[in-house]
Structure 1
């Protein structure tokens, strides 16, 4: 279930905004519809009251025959009007409290015209009416006349209020008043406007969310870039106050991290470099011990110390040395490195693929590939190299013929000074910095190095680099 839910904060906020918009629109339409129905009810009662007053004022002094003649002249299908000896509303009990109150108002207002009783009833619509449907479809009818005809048809087919008023002489005045038809809240004409407004709200919400979340995206991008290259240029400190504050914080963090790392790299390089002077003096003194039995052991130990110093200097120089990235023909680089090792075979079908161009620091990338090949030759006796291109990535695969690495230690070997071979022999065990340096170089170029045990035996090392645009 959770996989179908949004995974980012902007999408969550956008869904909340849209849900709130829908809820508010539905609630607004409901309130408008309810208030309009209540207002229409009051207007219908007012119209019936007003018409009753006009008709009674017209007929109260007339004779029964004159009333019938007048009613016959005013009769039509929509506003029925009759005068008879019996009421159209037979029940003297009102259907609801509103109608009962209206009856009392009519009697009280029309008593001076001789009205002694009033009855009102709601009747459902009768579909047998003279609705001007044919005239509406006539193309020659103007817009105003068309609207009037449509309204007349709606009134003719709407529910009715039927009223019966008794004169003092016992004659009943019966008439009907159509209830105002209530049109739909949403129509085909208004839907485009609603859709346009909703679309504008969504677009403005997306724009606002992008503005609000810009500092988070900027920080995410900056932190990822710093993770790959600590010497990447600082981000621009422009935009709103929040964005500028976030950019300044990220740039300050990057500067402090860079200073921290460079101080320790310079320290390691200086220490390793300063070791060379006493090592040289020690080597000169050893030359004086030509026949001493300890000379061979001391010479061996001194060589180990010099090897350690050289490795530490190389490791420190990787970040300290300033080198610009360039476009590199990766095929030529790998081919040149493989030619320098007798134990290395470069597996290809004889055709050289084109376009294997990457962007990296040339000296550093050569050191990276050399370290990987040297590592394969040292621990795996022989190394088999192959290059392939998949979409926007160049992959260099190096398979050796050694015993491989335990699965639990495949990630551990990338740590500084980590050695799988536990002997003290530097020729077989190394110093444990080769893979560390190689991975740092690959990541600085936007790539990655991964290790796995090959099904056919040996260790499989894969260097993946992005193709140059």
Structure 2
């Protein structure tokens, strides 16, 4: 799972922001849908309760006669009837306690005392209007009806079905020739309010209201998505604005101290990032100054040490006996070589030699010829064109160290130049005893001398591989050591293939 997660800071910031925004958008969408549903429910049930109270007030002022069937009356979208039983219980509808409390409070405010209250709000599916039938109430009458005498001209106008039995829930009659065109089934909300009158009968109202449409959900979802997209785009822009200076900082930090020049980054981005970049630029200048002072000190130290060594070498030329003189000369030469190796290692990464793009195979062939002229067992077994960007003098120093090690410890040095994908491999193989696993891991450490077979009698101070590794890394490559089968060691310098430049 971790392999799929971004490793960069901008990527992680973008992922966290996207996740947080997604969760917030989903929660916001759910809350909006719930709030929309509640608002629509209040919008539909509020008028239904108010109309019910108006009708109840009229019923209380002029109640229908007992034992006489009461026709269905209509006020707005609601239908009313006084019945012996309430449909909430007879139809086993789910009771809505919130609606019952609102209805009870409204009736009490109107000084209407009822025995019991039932309320239900359910979702139903209305059948089509094409005459396929379905469970829906049907009310159509143009006559006017009032509960009791016409004594309240401003009261609610109730329309009744003239000379027809009360409406029931059943199959609709077949459509006439002038029936409405078919309409697909649709969702609706049925609001049933009923209150028991003092005479034990129930005043019931049924209101059919449209339910929320899918278009509302689509609009809410679209608006939520648009907000999410805009905020996410802003978050990605901020993450990229923070990440760009950090990438420049990383690139500059990798070059600190190279070629003696301070590496500075363009100060940009938010305030905190700008302060970090300014601090890095100041640090880079201080490091460059310290390294320059170190180079001056090393130059003076090398000069001060070479002078007495040269003077000592002259003095021992007349030393007797011959064997002791030769031993002293070797000691002085080892000290001089050690001094040169230490100074060269200390200067790594700050060479002033210019980088050149060249075919490294030609350089290797020249070195093999130089060794062959001295009679050394050095050969070039395979070679192919290998353009690399390198410093020739430094690269020769690294390759010379590998060849000298192969001759000293493996009796022979065989070189090959080959390509490996986007890299160039310059390999030096010998027939020596190789190295143990522990020695391979530490061979490039300064002053490390490895196995007993590679002892002090073979010469060297343990800096040859260290220098080769430092030079390879200064060229953007690496030193790779591996044992050969059945015996021997393979030391390879891996360098990146030079990218050809297009002519302007």
TM-score, L = length of structure 2:
0.70
Residue pairs, 1:249-398, within 5 angstroms = 249-288=279-318, 295-312=325-342, 314-315=344-345, 321-342=351-372, 343-348=377-382, 353-354=384-385, 356-398=386-428
1:163 and 1:81 map into 2 onto residues whose CA distance is: 9
Query: Which SS does the other structure have where 2:237 is aligned?
Result: helix
1:243 and 1:123 map into 2 onto residues whose CA distance is: 59
Deviations 1:342-367 (A, max 9, x none): 3112112xxx644x211111221222
1:37 and 1:341 map into 2 onto residues whose CA distance is: 91
Query: Is the contact between residue 360 and residue 388 of structure 2 (CA under 8 Å) also seen in structure 1?
Result: yes
Question: Using a 3 Å threshold, how does the CA distance of structure 1 residues 72 and 424 change in structure 2: closer, same or farther?
Answer: closer
Residue 160 of structure 1: which of 180, 191, 213 is its match? 191
Residue 226 of structure 1: which of 249, 256, 259 is its match? 256
Greater shift after overlay, 391-400 or 181-190?
181-190
Tell me by how many angstroms 1:458 deviates.
0.9
Which residue of structure 2 lines up, in the alignment, with residue 235 of structure 1?
264
Tell me by how many angstroms 1:268 deviates.
3.6
1:186 and 1:456 map into 2 onto residues whose CA distance is: 78
Tell me by how many angstroms 1:46 deviates.
2.6
Residue pairs, 1:184-203, within 5 angstroms = 187-203=217-233
Query: Which SS does the other structure have where 1:347 is aligned?
Result: strand
Residue pairs, 1:48-197, within 5 angstroms = 48-52=48-52, 55=55, 74=74, 79-82=78-81, 86=84, 96=97, 98-99=99-100, 102-103=103-104, 105-106=106-107, 109=110, 120-122=118-120, 124=122, 127=125, 129=127, 131=129, 157-163=188-194, 174-179=204-209, 181-183=211-213, 187-197=217-227
Establish whether residue 401 from structure 1 lines up as the match of residue 431 from structure 2: yes
Tell me by how many angstroms 1:459 deviates.
1.0
Query: Is the contact between residue 166 and residue 173 of structure 1 (CA under 8 Å) also seen in structure 2?
Result: yes
Gaps of 5+ in 1: 135-148
Question: Using a 3 Å threshold, how does the CA distance of structure 1 residues 459 and 239 change in structure 2: closer, same or farther?
Answer: same
Which residue of structure 1 lines up, in the alignment, with residue 144 of structure 2?
none
Query: Is the contact between residue 222 and residue 235 of structure 1 (CA under 8 Å) also seen in structure 2?
Result: yes
Query: Is the contact between residue 449 and residue 455 of structure 2 (CA under 8 Å) also seen in structure 1?
Result: no
Query: Is the contact between residue 87 and residue 164 of structure 1 (CA under 8 Å) also seen in structure 2?
Result: no
2:323 and 2:196 map into 1 onto residues whose CA distance is: 141
Which residue of structure 2 lines up, in the alignment, with residue 244 of structure 1?
274
Question: Using a 3 Å threshold, how does the CA distance of structure 1 residues 297 and 48 change in structure 2: closer, same or farther?
Answer: closer
Which residue of structure 2 lines up, in the alignment, with residue 145 of structure 1?
none
Query: Which SS does the other structure have where 1:410 is aligned?
Result: helix
Deviations 1:30-60 (A, max 9, x none): 4344444444444444312332355568889
Tell me by how many angstroms 1:237 deviates.
3.4
More helix by share: 1
Tell me by how many angstroms 1:153 deviates.
7.3
State how many pairs are aligned.
438
Deviations 1:433-453 (A, max 9, x none): 322222222111101112121
Tell me by how many angstroms 1:287 deviates.
4.5
Query: Is the contact between residue 476 and residue 496 of structure 2 (CA under 8 Å) also seen in structure 1?
Result: yes
Tell me by how many angstroms 1:172 deviates.
7.5
1:259 and 1:3 map into 2 onto residues whose CA distance is: 41
Which residue of structure 1 lines up, in the alignment, with residue 236 of structure 2?
206
Query: Which SS does the other structure have where 1:159 is aligned?
Result: strand
Residue 443 of structure 1: which of 466, 473, 487 is its match? 473
Which residue of structure 2 lines up, in the alignment, with residue 466 of structure 1?
496
Question: Using a 3 Å threshold, how does the CA distance of structure 1 residues 266 and 132 change in structure 2: closer, same or farther?
Answer: farther
Residue pairs, 1:20-35, within 5 angstroms = 20-35=20-35
Greater shift after overlay, 456-465 or 29-38?
29-38
Tell me by how many angstroms 1:259 deviates.
3.9
Question: Using a 3 Å threshold, how does the CA distance of structure 1 residues 122 and 248 change in structure 2: closer, same or farther?
Answer: closer
Tell me by how many angstroms 1:318 deviates.
5.2
Query: Which SS does the other structure have where 2:110 is aligned?
Result: helix
Query: Which SS does the other structure have where 1:226 is aligned?
Result: coil
Which residue of structure 1 lines up, in the alignment, with residue 160 of structure 2?
none
1:85 and 1:306 map into 2 onto residues whose CA distance is: 121
2:88 and 2:408 map into 1 onto residues whose CA distance is: 114
